[in-house]
Homo-oligomer: A and B are copies of this chain.
Amino acid sequence: MAEAGTERTERIIELLRERGARLTNARRAVIDALAMARSHLTADDLGVLVQQSAPDIHISTIYRTLDALEHLGLVDHVHLGHGRAIYHLTDQPHQHLVCEGCGAVVEVPDSTFAQLADQLRQGYSFTIRPSHFAVLGRCADCAGVGKIASDH
């Protein structure tokens, strides 16, 4: 278990205060968990993680915290299949490739989508929102496998 209160967490907390929000245990815990996570987390994942050190933090608080952090621009979420959303901090912008075979989330830099963004802006007057869509497909490991694994 990594140590809490990393520099990354502190930076986010500073932004939170700058933007006039209160710092609570729940918020620190959620930010911490997001900052330390190596992969992307669902609200439920966060609940489990946070409750390891603070069992009283209710899942509804996790949702409200994520909501608050998102309104503050500190967190963003991406919808995967099945209505689940994964959350991540906004301090390291990136896009998501989600494997339909194994569920793996691959992060790729925003720049990968620069040309697509241009194309859609020019052709359709549509402005894509960086960091907020997932591209579905199959990762290297799952590419060979014929069937699409249970997407529903």
What residues make up the interface of A, taking CB atoms closer than 8 Å to B? 67, 70, 77, 79-85, 97, 99-100, 106, 108, 112-113, 115-116, 119-120, 123-129, 132-140, 143, 148, 152
Contact = CB atoms under 8 A, between A and B. Distances in A.
A87 B84 CA distance: 18
Copies in the complex: 2
A124 B135 CA distance: 13
Nearest to A77: B152
15 contacts: A70-B152, A77-B152, A79-B80, A79-B83, A81-B85, A112-B116, A112-B120, A116-B116, A120-B135, A124-B140, A126-B137, A129-B136, A129-B148, A133-B133, A133-B135
B97 A120 contact: yes
A148 B73 CA distance: 11
A45 to B, nearest CB: 17
Contact of A124 (B100, B108, B120, B125): B108
A51 B122 CA distance: 41
